Chains A and B, each alone.
Chain A
Amino acid sequence: MGLATLKIEDLPHYTYDDYAKWEGRWELINGIPYAMAPTPAKKHQWLSAKIAAQLVHLLKNCGNCRTFMPVDWQITPDTVVQPDVLVVCDENIEGEKLETPPVLVFEILSPSSERKDRVIKYQLYQDAGVKYYCIVDPENQGAEVFQLRGNEYQEMSLDQEGKMTFHLGECSIAFNFGELFKE
């Protein structure tokens, strides 16, 4: 018994207003729902917390830039994502969603999110103008960092101390990736 193939015009096409009513953890990309893991694994949460803690500390004197983890970022009316940790500058903290691109985004890989993080979101963030995109890999205890040059990402290397300097406009911070994987 064959089932008819789904045609392009049969694909769902939701917007932020639909998304806001859904229960559970979802993202929306080009109008299509993507489920997030119900509650990310402990390792994932711990890494998220450490990244955010380090950023809050480093940004203390960078008056205009803030860390959020996670928050709804509406890229277009039909694309809403929740990066694991992000830094946005010159943004007030009122309202439920972010509508301007963050300057720095971290995604922490999980087994089910690899394609989404490495391919789909890589493209989304590149096109949306996110200056720095970091993919953190808990399994291999490493991170890949991409910087926007023109309108494409290029990979950057960590310095000898395992740090990376991010220039966020009015301030620069030296983020220590090695710290993330110490127990």
Chain B
Amino acid sequence: MGLATLKIEDLPYYTYDDYVKWEGRWELIRGIPYAMVPAPAVKHQRISNKIAYQLEELLKNSRNCNAYLPVDWEITEDTVVQPDNIVVCGENIEEEKLTIPPVLVFEILSPSSARMDRLIKYQLYQDAGVKYYCIVDPENQGAEVFQLKGSEYQEMSEDQEGKMTFHLGECSIAFDFGELFKE
């Protein structure tokens, strides 16, 4: 008993207005729903917290830039994502959602998210103009950092102290990735 193949026109197509009504943890890419892991693993949460803490410290004296934990970022009407950690400069987030690209995005890998983070989101963030995209790998205790040069990402290396300098417009911060994996 074969099942008919799904045709392109049969794919679901949702927008932000549909997305906000959904229960549970979802992202929306080109109109298609992607389920997020129900409650990210403890290790994932700890790293996210450490990133947030370090960013708060580093941005203390910045007037223009703020760090956020997951918020709805509406890239286009049919694409809404929730990056693990972000820095946004120049604008306060409207109550429900962000509508301009962050300058810095962190995604923390989980076993089920590798393809999403390394390929789909890599492309999305590159096209949306996110200046710095960091993929943090808890398993291997490392991070890959990409910087937008022109319209493509190029991988950056940490300096001798294991830090990475991010130029966020009016200020620059030196982020210590080693800190994330210390217990």
Which A residues contact B (CB, under 8 angstroms)?
Answer: 1-6, 10-12, 14, 18, 21-25, 29-30, 32-35, 38, 75-76, 79, 115, 119-120, 123-124, 127-129
Which residues on the A side are within 8 Å of B96 (C-beta)?
A: none
- From B4, B12, B120, A32 is in contact (CB under 8 Å) with B12
> What 0/1 readout, one digit per residue, does chain B (106-120) give for beta carbons within 8 Å of chain A?
000000000100011
Task: Give the distance in Å from the alpha carbon of A30 to the alpha carbon of B79 in the complex.
Answer: 21
* Nearest B residue to A119, CB-CB: B10
Which residues on the B side are within 8 Å of A12 (C-beta)?
A: 32-35
- Give me 5 other A-B pairs in contact (C-beta within 8 A), A1-B127, A22-B35, A32-B33 excluded: A10-B119, A24-B23, A34-B12, A35-B33, A127-B2
- The answer to whether B11 touches A32 (Cβ under 8 A) is yes
Which B residues contact A (CB, under 8 angstroms)?
Answer: 1-6, 10-12, 14, 18, 21-25, 29-30, 32-35, 38, 75-76, 79, 115, 119-120, 123-124, 127-129
Which residues on the A side are within 8 Å of B79 (C-beta)?
A: 3
Task: Give the distance in Å from the alpha carbon of A79 to the alpha carbon of B12 in the complex.
Answer: 14
Which residues on the A side are within 8 Å of B1 (C-beta)?
A: 127-129
Task: Give the distance in Å from the alpha carbon of A128 to the alpha carbon of B2 in the complex.
Answer: 8
Given contact pairs A12-B32, A18-B35, A24-B22, A3 touches B6 in the complex (Cβ within 8 A):
no
Given contact pairs A35-B33, A127-B3, A128-B3, A3 touches B76 in the complex (Cβ within 8 A):
yes
